[in-house]
Structure 1
Amino acid sequence: MRPFFVYGTLKRGQSNYARLLAGQTVSEMRAWLPNTALYTAGPYPFLVEAVDLVPPGATVFGELMTVAVDQYQQTLALLDELEDFVPGRVGNLYERVIRMVQTAVGPCEAWVYIAGAVVEAAIRRGELWLIDSGEWS
């Protein structure tokens, strides 16, 4: 049961936090993921780690959410649904992967939803734009 690194609409103060994570967590802290970048075409961001899409020194900033044990499976299912992720399916909007994220108290292994191949292709076609700051606000 890994925590989730969230960087967009699931962050505190954002619309999906209130709907899906508020009251479900036992810990929430600032976190960041080096060598990644954020892109968007509108209402939500995509995290990418493909070398050709990440500017040198880029970092994505977000939050590490640790979900209560008794809420974990339900929350995982709801987040997978939100991110249009189905394990093993080709063409997912996002893929759920394990990454080592950084926090003020040290590194932590977490689930991260990253852009799927279809989104990466759209970025390469110029259909999404880079969020230079690495911060969704």
Structure 2
Amino acid sequence: MSVSELPFFVYGTLRPGEVNHGLLLHGRTLAEEPARLRGAVLYDGPGYPYAVEESGGLVTGDLVTALPRFYERLLADLDRLEEYRPGDPRNLYERVAREVLPGGAGRPVRAWVYVAAPGVAARLRTHGEPIPGGEWRGRGGTVR
């Protein structure tokens, strides 16, 4: 698997049972399993969360593996949802490769994670509201 074909770690509206999962992931995944991301804190956003890279934090989410025939299109759809454009200073999120821990006590897996872009992360650290326990599920997401 090349770096461009990594699975995705999702922690907000893309998780199973949340609004964007049904719109973008349903029927396009090979596997979905609980997972955790270390070194990040989850902050409440306007209807969706932001993972901000900070030592000592832990974010709960899911590791999603795309069906190979949908991978390229799914990657483009997720980048569009997260308003991520490589190198654009106006990004709200950055797509980065990070180690995540599958829930089944397996070895760490490298995955794509959408984390808060630097300017957003700085504002959240100063004025944001961290989500206790790093679990966003059930907070009522919005479609973007």
**What whole-Å deviation, never above 9, does each CA across 1:38-89 have from its counterpart, x for those lacking one?**
00133000001144xxxx4x21010000001100010000000000100111
Find the aligned partners of 1:124 and 1:71 in 2 and give their Cα distance.
36
The answer to whether the Cα contact below 8 Å between 1:91 and 1:117 also exists between their aligned partners in 2 is no
TM superposition score normalised by structure 1:
0.91
Aligned match of 1:68: 67
Aligned match of 2:13: 9
The answer to whether structure 1 residue 22 and structure 2 residue 26 are counterparts is: yes
Aligned match of 1:33: 37
The answer to whether the Cα contact below 8 Å between 2:7 and 2:64 also exists between their aligned partners in 1 is yes
TM superposition score normalised by structure 2:
0.86
1:93 Cα deviation from its structure 2 partner: 0.5
The answer to whether the Cα contact below 8 Å between 2:39 and 2:54 also exists between their aligned partners in 1 is no
Counterpart of 2:86, as a letter, is P
2:88 counterpart SS class: coil
**What whole-Å deviation, never above 9, does each CA across 1:83-127 have from its counterpart, x for those lacking one?**
01001111210000000100122211100000002211321341x
Unaligned runs of 5+ in 2: 138-144
The answer to whether the Cα contact below 8 Å between 1:95 and 1:113 also exists between their aligned partners in 2 is yes
| Higher mean C-alpha displacement, 101-110 vs 77-86 | 101-110
Aligned match of 1:47: 51
1:12 Cα deviation from its structure 2 partner: 0.2
The answer to whether structure 1 residue 121 and structure 2 residue 122 are counterparts is: yes
Unaligned runs of 5+ in 1: none
User: Between the two proteins, what is the percent identity of the paired residues?
Assistant: 44
Aligned match of 2:142: none
Work out the number of aligned pairs and report it.
131
Aligned match of 2:141: none
